[in-house]
Structure 1
């Protein structure tokens, strides 16, 4: 036969005589080549690519007896180069099987575990917590598939269905609950908004009242100061008018006094002149 070469995603399983394997069993080569002796040795190839499988469990009773259909997606592969023990187990279990037979066996195993987990949970638990459901399925499947030389890369619950409208009723109930909560939330928000609006209006009115008081106080003070100023102006004007009248009276009196002094002086002068005339007449008489 000569050399046989396989790619990194394939395992070459060599069996027969002259197998260099101290632990017994098949000689396994991953991503390499091997000389195959004709007649005394034979080989098979296992595909190590990840298998994507749809796991369907139809009408399985849940914990409370409600039939449910669950569809999961599992990613499974045969152990790789670093997992020689798993490869050895896989070679023992799948050496004579093709890819479709391997997928059928894995799907059947996974479906059994999926069915078992459905029976331990309620519809509500599965519907509301798919992550826990997926983790439970993967946890119990790991050991069984590991015994076959397989590795579960991932498992996800893809879809949930039922034929009795249970999920639809559950959804309607949830929708009604959400709508009710939304209405209650809206009513609460409206109430809070109105309370805040009322408080804001009250605060505005209180501030307006305070402002009005301040304005009234300012106006009263202004009017008071204005009245005081006007009174002071009137007082000053009255004082000024009185002073002016006093000055005018004083001036008139001074004028009268001056006129009187002039008259007195004139009278004195006339008297002196008259006296002199009388003296002169007496002198003339004596001479004659």
Structure 2
């Protein structure tokens, strides 16, 4: 629309002329919306509300008399309130670039004053303290011209070749270098220890590997040796068992032969000797009986005596059979037959004795 003006978001529209004014301000301030401006009768100008920057690089003398070149950056803008806009508009509307120039000059003066009250050590080590002190002293003056400070940064401090800052930093640099050397030495030592430990572990691993390999080889060799000896050992063991069996068989054969010899030779010989002994005893008994009979001339007494001696004869015959190897084949009947044989043998001996006695007596009767 013709005559309708609208300011940018970071601008303040200043309308001068006419009777509509805001307080003591020589113009009307419009922010954030438009306004109708009557051509010819009203004049419109725009004041930037955006951020501005000013650089300060000045030579300052410290409390110790040492010259330092201090470089700082100031970020500022026109205040958002009506008073700040009016103050800034009255001073910088015709030449807004002068805001940065004037701001730099203001901060340069305050910076020199603050640096002059501090030592080099304080300025170098406490830059924020320096910046805060400068802001505190410069802010009231900046507000008077409608400007506000967003930030102040001390960019650099230089003693312009005097070497004071380097000398001041030398102990710290030396300490840092010493710490760096110590750290480097420790790192080297740790690296060497790590290498030694790695070598030791590798050697230990190699030793353990060699031991395991040797044990495995020994087991393999032992298994192979046992396998190689298994056949001959088994054969020798079998031969030994055969020899043992043969020896036992020979012993049994010898024992059997001994038993056969005892049954075939010793026992019959013993039985024959016993029989001869019995016959001899019978003969002696017969002689005694004959003598007794001759002495008594009593046949009845003789016969009775013979009958009484019959059990003794049978007993002697039985004792002769005691050591003989006699096999009874038919049980109780065989045992009865054996006893009957013994009795019969005793009766036969008794008859023989009677016949001998009778034979001896007949010549005597005939005589």
Tell me the TM-score normalized by structure 2: 0.51
The residue that corresponds to 2:66 in the other structure is: 66
The residue that corresponds to 1:224 in the other structure is: none
Structure with the higher strand share, 1 or 2? 1
The residue that corresponds to 1:283 in the other structure is: 354
Equivalents in 1 of 2:147, 2:275: separation in Å? 165
Equivalents in 2 of 1:76, 1:125: separation in Å? 26
Which runs of structure 2 are paired with 1:72-83 in the superposition (5 Å)?
72-80=72-80, 83=81
1:177 corresponds, among 175, 197, 203, to 175
**Residue 11 of structure 2 contacts residue 31 of structure 2 at CA under 8 Å; is this kept in 1?**
yes
Query: 1:183: Cα distance to partner?
Result: 4.6
The residue that corresponds to 1:272 in the other structure is: 278
1:136 corresponds, among 133, 136, 155, to 133
**Range with greater deviation from structure 2 (37-46 or 137-146):** 37-46
Q: Alpha-carbon deviations, 1:155-179, whole Å to 9, x = none?
A: 1111111211222333333211212
Greater relative contact order, per chain length (Cα 8 Å cut-off, separation 6+): 1
**Residue 54 of structure 2 contacts residue 101 of structure 2 at CA under 8 Å; is this kept in 1?**
no
Equivalents in 1 of 2:357, 2:5: separation in Å? 202
Equivalents in 2 of 1:94, 1:273: separation in Å? 182
The residue that corresponds to 1:122 in the other structure is: 119
1:156 counterpart = 2:153: yes
The residue that corresponds to 2:106 in the other structure is: 109
The residue that corresponds to 1:46 in the other structure is: 47
The 3 A distance-change label for structure 1 pair 18 and 37 is farther
The residue that corresponds to 2:56 in the other structure is: 55
Matched position secondary structure for 1:19: coil
**Residue 12 of structure 2 contacts residue 29 of structure 2 at CA under 8 Å; is this kept in 1?**
yes
Q: If you compute each CA radius of gyration, which structure gives the higher value, 1 or 2?
A: 2
Gaps of 5+ in 1: 194-258
Matched position secondary structure for 2:50: coil
The residue that corresponds to 2:329 in the other structure is: none
Query: 1:28: Cα distance to partner?
Result: 0.7
Equivalents in 2 of 1:30, 1:86: separation in Å? 13
* CA RMSD across the alignment: 3.5
Equivalents in 2 of 1:274, 1:24: separation in Å? 190
Query: 1:269: Cα distance to partner?
Result: 5.2
**Range with greater deviation from structure 2 (276-285 or 162-171):** 276-285
Query: 1:75: Cα distance to partner?
Result: 0.8
Equivalents in 1 of 2:39, 2:101: separation in Å? 33
Matched position secondary structure for 1:99: coil
Equivalents in 2 of 1:269, 1:137: separation in Å? 161
Tell me the TM-score normalized by structure 1: 0.63
The residue that corresponds to 1:252 in the other structure is: none
